[in-house]
A = this chain, B = another copy of it.
Amino acid sequence: MTIGTTALAQKRADEPVQTIPAMRNLDPAMVELGKKLFFDPRLSKSGFISCNSCHNLSMGGSDNLKTSIGHNWQKGPINSPTVLNSSLNLAQFWDGRAKDLKEQAGGPIANPGEMAFTHELAIDTLKSIPGYVDEFKKVFRTDKLSIDEVTTAIAAFEETLITPNSPFDRWLDGDNRALTSMELEGYKLFKESGCVACHNGPNLGGNSFQKMGLVQPYKTASTAAGRVEVTGKDADRLNFKVPTLRNVELTYPYFHDGEAATLTQAVDLMGRLQLGREFSKDENAKIVAFLKTLTGQQPQIAMPILPPSTDKTPKPRPFE
């Protein structure tokens, strides 16, 4: 047996990136209820689309499509960001228009291009299902069952979706063997060429809004205007929340329009557009190798068993 290098190692405390902070204490019953809701397609008009359809927890918490498919196979306007570690972000959505996970979770249910339902119908549906009524009562200790309780529970579940213990986190914790020399060189390039100006902190992003196309303009057919939609300030046009780079190996394709198919392309564009720098093939490969060390332990999810509808439950209306 070797003496654990991790145990003896010095933590790397002065890096611009930190390990994922420990989860806040959460009521396990509320998390379990939130998980059911996250997986329940009955929160959509069609009865076919759940949060997990577009934030698939088998696939890094996103759908791996350029832009999402919503109700009636509608082509969505923007790439679906991962829900993994999203509790660490300063705000939710690419333009930050929801201040936190709870505020965010009301959005997709009533979004005509996503779940195409209304909060009223979603609540009527849940209220018609005794399994849910009992569980809400137990968790919230009240007979009230409104969108407030629904989004609180979903947000609690989402808070559990963190991915600790990536190779890079183990390196930060002092395990020198956690990264290969190529990966480490990639990290040095990432740090020294300035990526960490925007991708820093425990989520390597998620803590500021930045212009896409800072040095050179970004060419895209997408009409998403970014942060300006929230602030009304023209300076915020094409500013987007800097996406987390955790699990970025899993969350292809990249950028708000999903137009970069590979990490190689994304890194190349970031270098040119944000830093005015062209990486050599070798440098690019090193940065990509580093980015892949950010894949953490994926949440282990036992599929929820959803309480069945009753004769009174409103019927799904997929084709209306």
* A-to-B contact residues, CB < 8 Å: 39-41, 46-48, 53, 56-60, 63-65, 69, 72-73, 75, 249-250, 252, 261-262, 264, 298, 300-306, 308-309, 311, 315-316, 318-319
- Is the CB–CB distance between A48 and B69 below 8 Å? yes
Leading 5 A-B pairs by shortest Cβ distance: A73-B73, A301-B303, A262-B311, A298-B305, A58-B306
Q: A309-B64, A311-B262 are in contact. Are A48 and B53 (CB under 8 A)?
A: yes
- Is the CB–CB distance between B47 and A64 below 8 Å? yes
Residues of B within 8 A of A319 (CB): 75
A264's nearest neighbour on chain B, judged by CB, is B311
Q: A261-B315, A308-B252 are in contact. Are A48 and B63 (CB under 8 A)?
A: yes
A75's nearest neighbour on chain B, judged by CB, is B319
Q: A72-B73, A311-B262, A311-B264 are in contact. Are A39 and B58 (CB under 8 A)?
A: yes
- Is the CB–CB distance between B53 and A65 below 8 Å? no
- Is the CB–CB distance between B41 and A56 below 8 Å? yes
Residues of B within 8 A of A305 (CB): 58, 298
- Is the CB–CB distance between B57 and A303 below 8 Å? yes
Cα A264 to Cα B311 in complex, Å, equals 9
Cα A301 to Cα B301 in complex, Å, equals 8
Cα A300 to Cα B60 in complex, Å, equals 21
- Is the CB–CB distance between A318 and B39 below 8 Å? no
- Is the CB–CB distance between A58 and B261 below 8 Å? no
- Chain B nearest CB from A11 CB (Å) reads 28
Cα A56 to Cα B305 in complex, Å, equals 10
Could you give 25 example pairs across A and B, Cβ below 8 Å? A40-B58, A41-B59, A46-B69, A47-B63, A48-B63, A48-B65, A48-B69, A58-B303, A58-B304, A58-B305, A58-B306, A59-B308, A64-B316, A65-B316, A65-B318, A72-B73, A73-B73, A75-B318, A75-B319, A249-B308, A252-B308, A262-B311, A301-B302, A302-B303, A303-B303
